[in-house]
Structure 1
Amino acid sequence: MLFKGRTVAAMLALTAIAACVATYAVLEFPSRSRGAGGQLASGDLGQGQGGLRQEELEKLNKAMNLIEQRYLHPADRKKLLDGALQGMVESLKDPYSVYKPEDEAEEYMDALQGAFTGIGAELRVENGAVIVESPIRGSPAERAGLQPRDVLLSINGESLYGLSLSEAVAKIRGPKGTKAKLKVQRAGRTTPLDLELVRDRIDPETVSSEIREDGVGHLFINQFTSETAAQVAEELASLERQGMKALVIDVRNNPGGYLQSVVEVADQLLEQGKPIVQSEYRDGRRKVDVAENGAKHGKLYPLVVLINQGSASASEILAGALKQSAGALLVGDTTYGKGTVQVHFNGELGDDSILKLTVYKWLLPDGTWINEQGIEPDIPVDQPAYFLAWRLPRDRVLKLDSTGGDVENLQTILEGVGYPADRRDGYFSQRTKEAVERFQLDESLPATGEVDAGTAQRLEERLYSAIQDRANDAQWQKALAEARKLAGSSE
């Protein structure tokens, strides 16, 4: 079974990424003499005090000496130093600033570049909790029904609370084909969800497109990597050659990526000179990125952008730029609300470790900071309830008179696959049993009226088909209708 819906109930394979959702930038700061964009060396970054003062250095040395001479067990000096650096970064209370020691740095950067193995979600740690920022589109995490802001409580019975991001990821990752039993707390639910996932490796597709007979193009952007702008240019050229009349850009569940990448993508869709994004630095100065190479009068077709709660960071930059500088229509859900930019400092510490720091805010073209608020759609559209369903249990049978969240989830899935029960309150009623029996008969399964592993599997496969059907994607249908109207009015 291969699930590719937005947020789907079932899964057979899960993969994960070890990085929190973020917008990354090259090291670019406003020149202090000109107030414009300019490059600074890492040693000239700020107005700090030039590193540790003598008394601070002596304090650290004394602590190191006491540990080495008086601590009961032998201590690893490298681990002590790494721990000190991690403690410094954690004291910032910024979930997007991270220190990665040498033995973790290469794997961390590889995860940012492409293929990886894990649970298929962007994660961060905040106040000791491991939080899902966004399931990656098309990933098993999305197919399992993980949602933005879900809290991962435990993995295979081991608590994740209080761990660093790298420690949590180390527990979540594992060899392909092994199981990861997650306990997940979701806002609005009194009891946690239990999800059993199978680890796998994925290589996410960054950009793809299609065009309909009516001339409406559909451009998917799943993340913003160093290759995304070139891929977008290629897809747009193909769509335009086919006579595209309107374009729907889909950045749902796009967790972000590189700032330069999203600027280069927006540049292709805006009129020359139109603002894309503002950057505000620690001293209050601002830098504005504008479209430099776009069409003289912008694109000749109207734009609609599909967004949801999993649209974060760089995808929010694109949505905001297209709305404010190109009059694009936003359809879907309010976005995640992540308004800061990070820089990876590779090599600045004298070895192969990595220090990732939040270095500035990004603002919409009009100067609005959307952090922790998100961007509201022009046309809000909720998906059907079964788009938010999750995996059915395999370790127990759901049957008559069962109660609880798993039964409520079953009733939601039954409605999604065309076998609605009489209720959706989590009580396995006689009518729910009859709905299960009808489904089993139509699927040539034993008509027990009970949901065992075999019936659960088939229900999830049918749900996948329902979610794959564009006719059931309420947000896409609304975006399509609006794109058609806009295309007609522009002719």
Structure 2
Amino acid sequence: MWFRGRTVIAMMVLTAIAASMATYAIFEFPDWGFRPSNGKPGVASTEVAEGLQQKDLDKFNKAISLIEEGFISQTDRSKLMDGAIQGMLESLRDPYSVYKSAEEAEKFKNDLQGAFTGIGAELRVENGSIVVEAPIRGSPAERAGLQPRDILLSINGESLHGLTISEAVSKIRGPKGTKAKLKVQRNGAPEPLDLELVRDRIDLETVHSSVEEDGIGHLIITQFNEDTAVQVAEQLQTMESAGMKALVIDVRDNPGGLLKSVVNVADQLMAKGKPIVQYEYRNGQLQVESALKGAKNNKLYPIVVLVNEGSASSAEILAGALKQSANAVLIGQTTYGKGTMQVSFDDELGDRSLLKLTVYKWLLPDGTWINEKGIVPDVVVPQPNYFLASRLPRDYVLKYDMTGGAVANLQTILAGVGFPADRTDGYFSEATKQALESFQASESLAVTGEVDEETAQRLEEVLYVNLQNPEYDKQWKAAVSKARELIDVAS
């Protein structure tokens, strides 16, 4: 199965797709000395006071009493407690440290195991806004046009500003087959975008592979969950049996996942003893995680890694580890830049609720911290603009002499379907009309030179088909070219 590097066209309303997914990328890692009083890896008990002092308890109890006795509406003690803990996490001003109630925690654990109902995007809260960290490859979010750092403004007309992740997800989720209309603010766009999804359930496979006739393997990893390393091992064995000579690993739009998963994946692709990642606690102490087993039968082959701005956290760990410890070549665009790690405390609170807390930095094998910077690839290759196209309007017709962002988007799509206009500046010129008429004629549509609902739908469908074709993927073609070059050098 082929998945393109950035499938971001928004017309996928005709495909059964899903509604929403909570942030799922967390890290689990070996304990190396930092433990609170309960014995869980985390903050050293010698560094902080244990529990609340009496003055803290008095203040807390007084606040609850005032709320329960004086608030205008009936209150729920359990919700007050959840809110208090949520407030503590929000005061840290860290978008990756979150609290989830027992019900939310159960959904979170299911998501980690690869089955969820959602749009397939990792979300976070930043300054009160719901921000897309990365859409998952081949997911509804990607098909609908969501991009890293998009801000979700509203769902079906309801504002998402000021909500927690869990609150936003509860609004986005809904019965299978119902529509979710998202309003999205994108950096650089003059006005918000309207994207429409159809809710459904997703059972996500995280690993796909194929081997080209010239011996170049293509391994796509869409996220790192509990089964990913096992799937990678199986796919590598299949590809090696098929005569693979070089490997292209594709982690574009991979938002991350479990640290133990990516470490186990990296271990299979480098020599035993090579460093994979470093962990740094707040006191500066470092620990290096190295390959314990190494590549099977010491079989090492040239590796190229495809990355983009949606490659985050665990995906960046893999890319950085393979670059520095397996001589891999990185191709694509600068990665997201998430250099912190979270521990999920799921037993400590005693009621099945969950606290996910940022406790470590992670560093590249050479000690570089890529947080908010990302990893710059060895070969920078941007995709054509039509990979970033969005949904065409359905509530009005685009026609000659109009101007604006919708027309610029049309001109971008026309280039992607093989009928480029004379300009891309958003003016509906005579040449734009002629290009559109040529497209309509080729698709047996009414040749009007205008974009009505039928023409908009067909433009988007044809673009989607084209973007599944590797010939349209400049990053993939660059990776294949580099892989062939490395094969020649190795031989």
Please report the TM-score for the alignment, with normalisation by the length of structure 2: 0.95
Query: C-alpha displacement at 1:158, in angstroms?
Result: 1.5
Question: SS at the partner of 2:487?
Answer: helix
Query: C-alpha displacement at 1:21, in angstroms?
Result: 6.0
Query: C-alpha displacement at 1:273, in angstroms?
Result: 0.7
Structure 2: 5+ residue stretches without partners? none
Distance 1:303 1:415 in 2: 32
Distance 1:315 1:423 in 2: 37
Counterpart position of 2:86 = 86
Distance 1:333 1:32 in 2: 36
1:143 is aligned with what amino acid? R
- Write the mapping of 1:340-355 to structure 2, written as runs, cut at 5 A: 340-355=340-355
Distance 1:5 1:365 in 2: 26
1:41 is aligned with what amino acid? K
Check conservation: 2:19, 2:174, Cα contact below 8 A. no
Counterpart position of 1:105 = 105
Distance 2:7 2:406 in 1: 17
- Write the mapping of 1:452-467 to structure 2, written as runs, cut at 5 A: 452-467=452-467
2:33 is aligned with 1:31: yes
- Structure 1, residues 136-194: CA drift from partner, whole Å, max 9, x if none? 10012111221101111111222111111111111111122222221111111221112
Counterpart position of 2:278 = 278
Question: SS at the partner of 1:29?
Answer: coil
Query: C-alpha displacement at 1:292, in angstroms?
Result: 0.9
1:31 is aligned with what amino acid? G
Distance 1:353 1:197 in 2: 30
Cα distance change, pair 297–230 in 1 and its aligned pair in 2 (3 A): closer
- Write the mapping of 1:334-345 to structure 2, written as runs, cut at 5 A: 334-345=334-345
2:339 is aligned with what amino acid? G
Question: SS at the partner of 1:57?
Answer: helix
Cα distance change, pair 395–426 in 1 and its aligned pair in 2 (3 A): same
Counterpart position of 2:242 = 242
- Write the mapping of 1:293-308 to structure 2, written as runs, cut at 5 A: 293-295=293-295, 298-308=298-308
Counterpart position of 1:6 = 6
Check conservation: 2:256, 2:311, Cα contact below 8 A. yes
Counterpart position of 1:372 = 372
Structure 1: 5+ residue stretches without partners? 34-38
2:483 is aligned with what amino acid? A
Distance 1:365 1:42 in 2: 22
Check conservation: 2:33, 2:41, Cα contact below 8 A. no
Deviates more, 1:322-331 or 1:291-300: 291-300
Counterpart position of 1:142 = 142
Query: C-alpha displacement at 1:430, in angstroms?
Result: 2.1
1:307 is aligned with what amino acid? V
Counterpart position of 1:447 = 447
Query: C-alpha displacement at 1:3, in angstroms?
Result: 9.0
Distance 1:469 1:325 in 2: 32
Counterpart position of 1:186 = 186
Check conservation: 1:304, 1:331, Cα contact below 8 A. yes
Counterpart position of 2:40 = 41
Query: C-alpha displacement at 1:42, in angstroms?
Result: 5.6
Query: C-alpha displacement at 1:428, in angstroms?
Result: 1.6
Check conservation: 2:269, 2:300, Cα contact below 8 A. no
Deviates more, 1:218-227 or 1:389-398: 389-398
Check conservation: 1:253, 1:310, Cα contact below 8 A. yes
1:242 is aligned with what amino acid? A
Distance 1:438 1:321 in 2: 49
Check conservation: 1:181, 1:196, Cα contact below 8 A. yes
Cα distance change, pair 198–44 in 1 and its aligned pair in 2 (3 A): closer
Query: C-alpha displacement at 1:343, in angstroms?
Result: 1.2
Counterpart position of 1:169 = 169
- Write the mapping of 1:201-220 to structure 2, written as runs, cut at 5 A: 201-220=201-220
Check conservation: 1:128, 1:161, Cα contact below 8 A. yes
Cα distance change, pair 17–282 in 1 and its aligned pair in 2 (3 A): farther
- Structure 1, residues 66-116: CA drift from partner, whole Å, max 9, x if none? 122222222111111111011011111010011011232212222232222
Q: Percent identity?
A: 65
Check conservation: 1:306, 1:331, Cα contact below 8 A. yes
Question: SS at the partner of 1:252?
Answer: coil
Counterpart position of 1:317 = 317
Distance 2:257 2:477 in 1: 27
Distance 2:131 2:265 in 1: 29
Check conservation: 1:229, 1:265, Cα contact below 8 A. yes
Query: C-alpha displacement at 1:65, in angstroms?
Result: 1.3
Check conservation: 1:135, 1:142, Cα contact below 8 A. yes
Please report the TM-score for the alignment, with normalisation by the length of structure 1: 0.95
- Write the mapping of 1:390-401 to structure 2, written as runs, cut at 5 A: 390-401=390-401
Distance 2:273 2:5 in 1: 38
Distance 1:64 1:238 in 2: 60
2:40 is aligned with what amino acid? A
Deviates more, 1:321-330 or 1:149-158: 149-158
Deviates more, 1:52-61 or 1:202-211: 202-211
Query: C-alpha displacement at 1:299, in angstroms?
Result: 3.6
Query: C-alpha displacement at 1:298, in angstroms?
Result: 4.8
Question: SS at the partner of 1:24?
Answer: coil
- Structure 1, residues 259-310: CA drift from partner, whole Å, max 9, x if none? 0011111111111111000001122111111011014895431110000001
Deviates more, 1:304-313 or 1:439-448: 439-448
Distance 2:410 2:126 in 1: 32
Distance 1:44 1:320 in 2: 27
Distance 1:257 1:228 in 2: 10
Query: C-alpha displacement at 1:388, in angstroms?
Result: 0.6
Check conservation: 2:5, 2:473, Cα contact below 8 A. no
- Structure 1, residues 373-405: CA drift from partner, whole Å, max 9, x if none? 000000000111101101112222212222211
Distance 1:17 1:144 in 2: 12
Check conservation: 1:153, 1:183, Cα contact below 8 A. yes
Counterpart position of 1:133 = 133
2:17 is aligned with 1:18: no
